[in-house]
Structure 1
Amino acid sequence: MEPIDDLLFEVTDAFKTQKEDLLELVTLIDIYGEQVNQEGSYEEKTRFIETLNTLLEDNPSTTGEIGWDLPKGLLKFLSKDNVDVNGRLGTNMIVQGVMKCFYAISIQGEPKKCLITGLELLSSLCSKDFSKSDQQNKEDFVDKKANTLPPEGVIENSSNRKDFPSYGESKSSNEFFLKLKSYILFEFIGASLKRISTLFPSKYLGAAVSTIEKFVYSHADTFEDALFLLRRVYTFCRNYIPPDPPKDIQLNEDFTREMFDKVVEEESELQVRLLRRLCTFGISTPIKTVTTNADVKYYCALNQQKFELSAYYTEYLELFCRYYQMAFSLDVDIEGEFQNVIEECRIIYKSVPQEISAVNDEAKLVLERMVYKLAYTFEVQKAAKEKNVGLDYNGVILFSGIHYLETNQHLVKEMNITDAIYLYLRFTTPSLYSKVYYNVAVESVSRYWLWYAITTEPLEDVKKELKNLSVFVTKTLLHVLLQKNCIQVNQQLRMITFTLLTRLLCLIPEKVAFEFILDVLKTSPLPLAKTSVLCVFKDLSRRRISTKDNDSETDLIVEKLSKLKVNDSNKAQQSNIRHYIQLDSSKMKAVHDCCLQTIQDSFTADAKKSDILLLLTYLNIFIVLKKTWDEDLLKIVCSKIDSNLKSVEPDKLPKYKEIVDKNESLNDYFTGIK
């Protein structure tokens, strides 16, 4: 490499002498920039960037011509060779210099070309850096909160100074540089948009929104810190200022004042629609894996428990509320749009037939599978046909939950259980067919509306609606709730959702509740699902309710629902008592057959630990229900286990002693009643 002084002299001289041959000037900057970046020292790279920035600032006309062609080369300086991901960005002169260069280009470069360059570079980050981040191991480093500030001009009007330091929170060097580069490009794109003078600004805003959506979508699952994407989209929307119409528009007979005013009005409306779209998309997509806690807050309020958020969720809630306020500033009719979502859900599910229409078991199976796929099919068809700029309905659902988190008030005062079920299925079942639709945040708000419906609507109306609801819809709801909850890692959320599932089983017809439990025991591939429904089955078999006029809709249920105590030990009325699930010979025989299958699975050579735990769950339930269970069936279970225990070595079977002890407990019971 040439001595840095000679190289810088040539670049400086080129700015003075080659103004007529701008292509040669750009080529010279690119060649020297790449040479310095590859072979130069940190000090030499710093000097090159500082000199280039000074030249760009001092030669605004030249910058206006060539500025749009420089960002790609500038971004190459942001690499692990030049930037310590553990260090303070504010002290890294290369980073500071690159950002100053971008700022100079953004205020002096040709805005349309700069915008196109920014969008192309942001799009290239989507494909290039995404693949790299999957291949490299993530590195831990100490400085999680780099207390640095970027150049004043680069982030002017930034709403949150946490945006820039948040780079330091990355645990992957690839993610670190992806965030750093995208941060610069977001600011560059926003600054370029403000300077474009056009009668049709929506054309350029639309291109920006489309590229930003693709970027956010591509990285929503890869960024460990979703706050970064939330902040970037929020800042872009908040800082966008519709440009004034060009002052040199010539009005004549072909383009009158009325036509001009109409164009301006239409453009203004379209820009607002684009920002509304990005606002609802930006709140929902980055937080696919982050719960909103709306259902947790509502549960705590019902149970008169204190609702507390960790610092992690508090930071998210702060941003949620900012988006919520921004939606209002964009005149988003959140309640009206939410009602539109409810109406769309009705369109999807209202035609699901009743069970009586299924002529045989095969037809029932077809209908059950159809319900699972209805929302997914609808969503795919809707996306294919959509031509207008509409709101992201995931964002609308989130805003309905954020409204409660922010105001402690419910967006709508009335929500019937049918609509709540349709809403839940509409936004949860598509994820069973494509991870594109997976969104934990939306699911948590959907559960909140289920809770709201069953605790605010009169119980008689709830049970009547559930009785009239298609069995296929009801069972799909129960299965999806259970399936989603079995993979839930948050213990509190798992407990709350199991409570919700139990509530629903108390409210639906007994026949449907038991069929669901039996279906899980027979077909579910999730061991936790079987264990969970067995525990629910035990509770519902023991829980007694008053049966006035042979109707289980009693004051006792209302009291239990309001207090959320499924397993309350209070005694029911002594007369005309009934259980949520009445044990009879057919029900006991059905559960007995499932238990025998589990016994068989538990004593095979390739038995899983989950099979053993399930067997122990069966034994626990039989011990609890032994006085009401069929004695002959219990003896068969004990005999089967005894014979299998004799054929295995104690050290080869997990939980061997526990199985022996529980089986002996049942045998002792039989001995005691002789």
Structure 2
Amino acid sequence: MSLTDENEQNTSDSTLEAGEFEKVLSTLELAAADARESGDYLSYSTVLDICASDPTGFSNAEKEQILSHILGALTTDKEMTAEIGWDLPALLISYIDSDYDFVGPVRKAPGVYKVLKIFEVLAIEGNSKELFLKSTELLSTIKITDSPTENQENAEKFYDLKVYCLFELINSCLRRIHTLYPSKFLAMTMTSFINSIYINKVRYSNDFLWKRLYTFARNYTRPPLPDSTDLPAEELAKINEDEDYLQRKLLTAFLTEAINRFLVLETVGFAVDFFNYLQRMSPANAKYTNNFQLDMPVFDRLYELALSFDLDLTSSFRDFMKSSSELIDSIAYTQDSEDDATAKLVEFVVTDYQNNFCSSLISSEATAITDSLGGTLNLFTYSIAHSKVFDKVDVSIKSAVDMAIRLIVPGIVHSNFIYRGQHDVAIFWCWYAVHMSSKNGRDPTSEVGAIPKVVLMSFFQALLFATVSCSSNSYFRYVTLTLLTRFLSLASEDVSFNFIVNTLRECPYQNVKAAIVGVLKELSIKDKVIMDDLAESMSHAKISKEDSKNKGDSIPPPLPSRQNKAGVKYINLTEQRVNDVFALIDMCMSEAFTDGETGPYLNGQILPTLQAYLNFLFLVRNEKFIKGQRYQDVVDKVQKHIKGVEENAGDETSSSLGGIGILKVTVERLTL
């Protein structure tokens, strides 16, 4: 078969033969002509469904011809458009999909321009109410996966185009619907858009949808009133007043809930940006994690729009902070045992999350319209994080911990409660609180020490879970893990060490255990930073104006200086703690070296944790309870296991041998 024959064969496999397509087009034209003559427009709609409902059977050129035919038929017969237009969006929307690679401008994508032109005709001449109902229904159901393309990024772009087309049609229809109760139609529009976000969570980018949200909310205008009504003027005025209020409430609920939904799997970057800011401000001129800086113009516009809708974001945040502390304190200071208090704490925050974060825009009894707490928190956090204005709200470390527990812990119980955007908010405010505590002359160690143990341990679990659940975002993971290390350094030795040991013993996520061993290493080898007593007392000294006049130009009190106290570690390796560490190492070795059907092999998933333990041992090898025989026993055991895996593999290539090579390098270091 020649190359030309192969191309023709491939074409015929995916599209109709030329003669068959001509028959399809001829059938459509005859059906349109018959409909115009007889007035039986429903028959023409049926023929369209039969002949043109599956665009995948046509080439791009053929799809253009079909769309041109439909456009011509509707343009020349307004009555046809009014009669069957409501049935066309579902058929036409699939014509947007193609093999276009989006290298050029969108207007060159096959079918898109013609579909928009048809929608324009429908918007002008179609039955506005029926079109609105069908379009909102369609917007609620279209999915990224509807596109036949295997390229996920392109599939998302086709989805964005479909949303654009439908939103334009919905907007146009809204302007033509004469009604006394526009809130009903606005609520339907909002619900369809929120549903579309919900069923299309996994995306490379939501930039386009962010802009559609802003544009719709900003440009929304009330649909026109009926031309005439029998209602008295007083009753009509009351209806209009109520409807104006309802529409404003719906718009704020829509704005905040859409933001909340966008950020289920996405983070804005509050925490990473603030962490970089702290590093840039560091007197040591620390090298910061990355070059990320918070810059999201559409969020600026959404924030300004929220203010124009009279949303009191500051008050909402203060209320959330206050209610978070009240919720946590109601459990933390009871006489329950630690286990009972922890269980009750989890139960309370999950119930609270269901009531305050998972509620719908409109209550099930249709008695209230609620703004999304998650969206409101993100808007307020953005205003602080982006402006770097830190005197707007005072957040103590305890308050930040309470908010973090409330936002993150529910996700540990059920995956439906994992909102990465809310994790981002929580981590930002924790870093903010630690920074402001030091900046305002408070002692972070004392603040953390005053937090009840059950609360602190739940908070550590929350940070650990945030690290695990956002593992794909390496920057956020690093910033969260660093925050956990910071809080462990501020907490008492016993609390910190017990948390680390329990995590290494019980945590089911191997990808975080190596990092936790690294945290143990940092806290065990670094000298503790302690505020100098004299500098601390002087920093609290008050000099009155009277004193200034008497003493002339006085030297201001020195700022608190922080010094490393040699020999004082964040976690001292006592005999009992060393025993716990060696027990953990033994457990890790038994998990790493396993006897399979063919003999011993190295579990590659456990390897990073084992390496972390061995590196930790090397750094603390001279500690009193580590040096000597116990240290050597670990080295001997690892070498014995390595030898067993190598002998079992023989001359065969084993997937574990690559890890063995890495491990041997680590062990060689231990023997130096």
TM-score w.r.t. the length of structure 2 is 0.78
Residues 283/309 of structure 1: CA separation in 2 closer, same or farther (3 Å cut): farther
Write the distance in 2 (CA, Å) between the matches of 1:423 and 1:399: 16
Tell me the residue number matched to 2:327. Answer: 348
Shift of 1:206: 0.7
Give yes or no for the alignment of 1:178 onto 2:178: no
CA distance in 1, matches of 2:56, 2:565: 84
Aligned counterpart in structure 2 of residue 592 of structure 1, from 582, 590, 606: 582
* Paired residues for 1:206-355 under 5 Å: 206-221=187-202, 223-252=203-232, 257-304=233-280, 317-354=296-333
Q: Which amino acid aligns with 2:88?
A: L
Q: 1:635 aligns with which of 618, 629, 654?
A: 629
* Secondary structure class of the residue paired with 2:199: helix
Matched, 1:432 2:422: no
Alpha-carbon offset, residue 78 of structure 1: 3.6
* CA distance 1:33–1:367, change in 2 (3 Å): same
Counterpart Cα distance in 1 of 2:435 and 2:291: 27
Pair 571,394 (structure 1): closer, same or farther in 2 beyond 3 Å: closer
CA contact 1:650–1:656 (8 Å) conserved in 2? no
- Letter aligned with residue 139 of structure 2: L
Whether the 8 Å CA contact 2:85–2:126 is kept in 1: the answer is yes
State whether residues 621 and 631 of structure 2, in contact with CA within 8 Å, keep that contact through their aligned partners in structure 1: no
Shift of 1:629: 2.7
CA separation in 1, counterparts of 2:56 and 2:234? 58
Once residues 411 and 56 of structure 1 are traced to their aligned partners in structure 2, the CA distance between those partners, rounded to angstroms, is 61
One-letter amino acid matched to 2:668: D
Name which of structure 1's ranges 116-125 and 651-660 shifts more when overlaid on structure 2. 651-660
Cα distance change, pair 602–550 in 1 and its aligned pair in 2 (3 A): farther
In structure 1, which of residues 372, 382, 393 is the aligned counterpart of residue 373 of structure 2?
A: 393
Instruction: Give 1:4-153 correspondences, 5 Å limit.
Output: 7=27, 10-11=30-31, 13-14=33-34, 16-19=36-39, 21-27=40-46, 30=49, 33-34=52-53, 45-80=63-98, 89-91=106-108, 94-126=111-143, 130=145, 138-139=150-151
The answer (yes or no) to whether the contact 1:283–1:323 under 8 Å persists in 2 is: no
Asked if the contact 1:245/1:264 (under 8 Å) is kept, the reply is no
* Residues in 2 aligned to 1:244 and 1:76: alpha-carbon distance in whole angstroms: 32
Residue 94 of structure 1 and its aligned partner are, at CA, apart by 3.5
Note if contact 2:405-2:459 (Cα within 8 Å) is conserved in structure 1: yes
Do the aligned partners of residues 499 and 552 (structure 1) sit closer, same or farther apart at CA in structure 2, a change above 3 Å counting? farther
1:472: Cα distance to partner? 1.9
User: Could you tell me how far apart the structure 1 residues matched to 2:314 and 2:345 are?
Assistant: 27
User: How far apart are the structure 1 equivalents of 2:638 and 2:37?
Assistant: 94
Give the aligned residue type for 2:609: L
Pick one of 615, 618, 628 that aligns with 2:613: 618
Residue 334 (structure 1) shift: 1.4
Q: Relative to structure 1, is the Cα distance of residues 347 and 245 closer, same or farther in structure 2, using a 3 angstrom cutoff?
A: farther
Equivalent residue, structure 2, for 1:474: 456
CA-based RMSD of the aligned residues comes to: 3.7
Residues 643 and 459 (structure 1 numbering): CA distance in 2 closer, same or farther, change over 3 Å?
same
- Which consecutive residues of structure 2, in runs of 5 or more, have no partner in the other structure? 1-19, 282-286, 540-560, 595-599, 647-656
Distance 1:333 1:44, change over 3 A: same
TM-score calculated relative to the size of structure 1: 0.78
Q: Is the 8 A contact 1:284 1:441 kept in 2?
A: yes
**Counterpart for residue 518 of structure 1:** 501
* Cα shift readout 1:214-272 (whole Å, capped 9, x = no counterpart): 11110022x333223323322322232112433412343xxxx3332221111111111
Closer, same or farther: CA 120–310 of 1 in aligned 2, 3 Å: farther
Report the counterpart of residue 15 of structure 2 in structure 1. Answer: none
Give the share of equivalent positions with the same residue, in percent: 24
- Structure 1 residue 572 corresponds to structure 2 residue 564: yes
Question: Is 1:448 the counterpart of 2:428 in the alignment?
Answer: yes
Q: How many residue pairs were aligned? A: 599
Cα 1:455/1:32, change in 2 over 3 Å: closer
1:583 counterpart SS class:
coil
Q: CA distance change for structure 1 residues 374 and 607 in 2, over 3 Å: closer, same or farther? A: farther
Q: CA, structure 1 residues 3+544, in 2 after alignment: closer, same or farther (shift >3 Å)?
A: closer
**CA deviations over 1:505-561 (Å, ceiling 9, x no partner):** 1222222112112212222233453333333333333444477899999999xxxxx
Q: CA separation of 1:541/1:282 partners in 2, compared to 1, >3 Å: closer, same or farther?
A: same
Q: More deviation in 324-333 or 96-105?
A: 324-333
Measured in 2, the distance between the counterparts of 1:334 and 1:344 equals: 15
Would you say the 8 A contact 1:352–1:470 is kept in 2? no
What letter matches 2:321 in structure 1? Answer: I
- Partner Cα separation in structure 2 for residue 424 and residue 552 of structure 1: 33
Alpha-carbon distance change, 264 to 645 in structure 1, aligned in 2, over 3 angstroms: same
> 1:118-177 CA distances to partner (integer Å, 9 max, x unpaired)?
022223325xx64x57xx7833xxxxxxxxxxxxxxxxxxxxxxxxxxxxxx5355x454
Aligned counterparts of 1:192 and 1:518: Cα–Cα separation in 2: 62
Q: CA separation in 2, counterparts of 1:462 and 1:288?
A: 32
| Offset at residue 198 of structure 1 (A) | 0.7
**1:192 matched to which residue of 2?**
173
Q: CA deviation at 1:310?
A: 7.2
Q: Is 1:197–1:243's contact at 8 Å kept on the other side of the alignment?
A: yes
Q: In structure 2, how many angstroms separate the alpha carbons of the residues matched to 1:611 and 1:555? A: 51
Which secondary structure does the structure 1 equivalent of 2:172 belong to?
helix
Work out the CA distance in 2 between the residues paired with 1:430 and 1:497.
18
For residues 405 and 141 of structure 2, the distance between their equivalents in structure 1, rounded to whole angstroms, comes to 36
Separation of aligned partners in 2, 1:520 and 1:357 = 23
Q: Counterpart amino acid of 2:42?
A: L
Structure 1 window deviating more from structure 2 (47-56 vs 276-285): it is 47-56
Give SS of 2:264's match: coil
Indicate if the aligned counterparts of 1:355 and 1:470 stay in contact, CA closer than 8 A.
Answer: no
In 2, distance between residues paired with 1:503 and 1:640? Answer: 30
Equivalent residue letter for 1:469: I
Q: Secondary structure at the match of 1:572?
A: strand
> Paired residue for 1:147?
none
Distance 1:476 1:427 in 2: 12
Distance 1:232 1:435, change over 3 A: farther
Given that residues 354 and 471 in structure 1 are in contact (C-alpha distance below 8 angstroms), is that contact kept between their aligned partners in structure 2?
no
- Residue 366 of structure 2 corresponds to residue 376 of structure 1: no
What amino acid is the match of 2:408? T
Task: Give, in angstroms, the shift of residue 204 of structure 1.
Answer: 0.9
CA distance in 1: counterparts of 2:520 and 2:296, whole angstroms: 37
Distance 1:400 1:309 in 2: 24
Q: Distance in 1 between matches of 2:178 and 2:574?
A: 79
Aligned-residue offset at 1:42: 5.6
Q: Tell me which amino acid in the other structure corresponds to 1:507.
A: L
Report if the CA contact (8 A) 1:298-1:448 is conserved.
yes
Give how far 1:31 is off: 5.0
Aligned CA distance change for structure 1 residues 634 and 246 (closer, same or farther; 3 Å): farther
Q: Which residue in the other structure is 1:167 paired with?
A: none
The alpha-carbon distance between structure 1 residues 48 and 516, as it changes in their structure 2 partners (threshold 3 A), is: closer
